Structure 1
Amino acid sequence: MPHPATPTPAIRRIAIVGAGTIGASWAALFLAHGLTVVVSDPAADAEAQTRARVQAAWPVLKELGRVVEGASPDALLFEPDLATALVDVDFVQENAPEREDFKIELFARMDALLPPRVIVASSSSGLIMSRLQSRCQHPERFVIGHPFNPPHLIPLVEVVGGDKTSVEVIEQSIAFYRAMGKYPIRLNKEVPGHIANRLQAAVWREAIHLAAENVASVADIDAAVSQGPGLRWALFGPHMTFNLGGGAGGLAHFMDHLLGPVQTWWDDLGTPEVTPELQCKLIEGVNAEAGRRSIADMVQTRDAQLTALIKVLHR
């Protein structure tokens, strides 16, 4: 893998507002690139949890070649007081609870504390920035920078501005994330859930429908993705996958010959009602699929396999 790109000179000190799994993962990535990182979260155990998660992410970051010379997980700064944490920062990555009312109030508070030049990016997985920035005096510097979990491993960042976000802020955010080794994509318009979560939700809805209809077990439905199209999706998205499926004629040939059958599948897709009984069925199904493996064990396995896959893809 190539050496990590040099970050934008204007961004050297980052505030992570809201720790948790996502915030700690962002912190690890930014620290690995030699940036000064201060994490702010009022929870009593937030500092200990954040430091533990950053330490756990560090070996993987080193294995992937993303740790610049002199970088250390011990350089992380923690400040529970938001106003103090935001002093002299160049960029804010916000990871607060996914509640619109909470974020609107938080954004207005940060807006009052920060100089106008500082970009504030939200990790929100589906909220609309136009509403989140509605009470800010400088809404032009607020942008969505939605990562995929865990951010220190998964390259994708979805970048989209609100009605009042400046084009320059969107472009600067994309350049910054790219310098961090991420793969930023730009949304041309706001939609709830952005892109990737909507695609995930669409697949999961049909997976739930298939389970509800007893077409197969939860484990086999999962395997139908992980042992089939999921492997191809690690290389190409759905459009390019079907373009290759068309052979020499590409997508045009595929659509000419198979669009009819695909349309019948679309027409038959389900819209399940996730009742308490169906919830129990799904939970029992994933527990049976997991067997004796704990969540921690599976996360460790996932991250190890993701690391190996990323190394192969970036050869």
Structure 2
Amino acid sequence: MYLDPHSVTRVTSLGAGPIGGGWAAHFLARGYDVTAYIHDESERAAFDAIVDTAWISLETLGLDAGASRARLTVTTDLEMALDGAQFVQESAPERLEIKQTLYARMGELLPENIVIGSSTSGLTMTEIQAGCQTPARCVIGHPFNPPYLLPLVEIVGGKQTDPAAVAWAGAFYEAAGKAPLIMKKEIPGFVATRLQEALWREALHMVAAGEATPEDIDIALINGPAPRMVVQGQCMAFHVACGAGGMATNLDQFGPALKWPWTRLDAPELTQELRDRMVDGCNSIAGDRDFEDMAADRDAKIVAVLNALRQSG
């Protein structure tokens, strides 16, 4: 029913924001023909700036054969954007009514064998596909930001999704140079975002309690677990940390510590004071650097890490 995922040459990316623009840049760098749909021509300058920024890093990482900015078409006409698409990556605003309307329209315009992947980070596919007349081919394909650099894509279907569409999406994203994670079931926040949010809640609690500043927290992460997590996730980091006994030793020795009152997993009350502490702390870290400079610096360092991993095998 579905195309051979390795035969796809034409991708449509919907959305003009950092995720939509980032996806467009990623697919261009992998040698696809890309049609990008933006809602209004006023979004074009911001979209182009995202692709321009991404392209610097993508060229440093190395472009696939045939990759070219000339293979990008940008349009405000949804029907034109979907014409001839062999895969669609949807990155519309995170509002359920917008996505449901969009999927209902795509159900009318796209052949049933064309898979649609949603970049949503907070909605479920069961909700999104509710008004689509062809829901079986609709999946979540949730990236990490920036999607043109970070490989992860979390994939899961909704209640009406064909399992074959989920498997197809996994194969396609892998062919497109991503690291797909096919999830076992729909859960709020997927996998990586839930882990990230747990860390974020702990950070907010420490700032609220006066235990650490935003700068303290980022120093601790950058110089502590972050470098290790590039090569080992949390589970394997603890498995290897305990020597030959592995995770069994870890849990047997440190299991009681799980009950110690270190963590505060409930979300803190976002008071005006906490809000101001976070904003002031982050503005202090940023100094006089603007968004473009900080994003470029971030991307260059991620590229260096990715290239180092490649060289190390």
Shorter chain as denominator, the TM-score bin is over 0.9
List alignment gaps of at least 5 residues for structure 2: none
CA deviation map 1:26-63 (0-9, x unaligned)? 11111122211111112223333323322332232122
Q: CA deviation at 1:237?
A: 1.3
Task: Give TM-score, length-normalised by structure 2.
Answer: 0.94
CA distance in 2, matches of 1:46, 1:204: 31
CA distance in 1, matches of 2:56, 2:214: 33
Report the AA paired with residue 135 of structure 1.
G
Paired residue secondary structure (1:314): helix
Would the aligned equivalents of 2:202 and 2:263 in 1 still touch at CA under 8 Å?
Answer: no
Task: Report the counterpart of residue 284 of structure 1 in structure 2.
Answer: 280
Q: CA deviation at 1:71?
A: 2.0
Sequence identity (%): 43
Would the aligned equivalents of 1:55 and 1:73 in 2 still touch at CA under 8 Å?
Answer: no
CA distance in 2, matches of 1:12, 1:46: 26
List alignment gaps of at least 5 residues for structure 1: 1-6
Mapping of residues 165-244 of structure 1, within 5 Å = 165-244=161-240
Q: CA deviation at 1:266?
A: 5.3
Task: Report the counterpart of residue 45 of structure 1 in structure 2.
Answer: 42
Would the aligned equivalents of 2:53 and 2:296 in 1 still touch at CA under 8 Å?
Answer: no
Task: Report the counterpart of residue 296 of structure 2 in structure 1.
Answer: 300
State which of 51, 57, 74 in structure 2 corresponds to 1:54. 51
Task: Report the counterpart of residue 144 of structure 1 in structure 2.
Answer: 140
CA deviation map 1:264-285 (0-9, x unaligned)? 1456556410112210111011
Does residue 31 (structure 1) correspond to residue 24 (structure 2)? The answer is no
Superposed CA RMSD in Å reads 1.6
CA deviation map 1:53-93 (0-9, x unaligned)? 2233223212212x123321122101101012111111100
CA deviation map 1:76-116 (0-9, x unaligned)? 10110101211111110000000112111111111111110
Would the aligned equivalents of 2:32 and 2:71 in 1 still touch at CA under 8 Å?
Answer: no
CA distance in 2, matches of 1:266, 1:111: 49
CA distance in 2, matches of 1:108, 1:270: 37
Task: Report the counterpart of residue 161 of structure 1 in structure 2.
Answer: 157
Aligned residue pairs, count: 308
Q: CA deviation at 1:262?
A: 3.0
CA deviation map 1:106-157 (0-9, x unaligned)? 1111111111011110000121101111111111100000111111100000
Would the aligned equivalents of 2:205 and 2:264 in 1 still touch at CA under 8 Å?
Answer: no
CA distance in 2, matches of 1:58, 1:289: 27
Does residue 11 (structure 1) correspond to residue 8 (structure 2)? The answer is yes
Task: Report the counterpart of residue 22 of structure 1 in structure 2.
Answer: 19
CA distance in 2, matches of 1:9, 1:271: 43
Report the AA paired with residue 224 of structure 2.
G
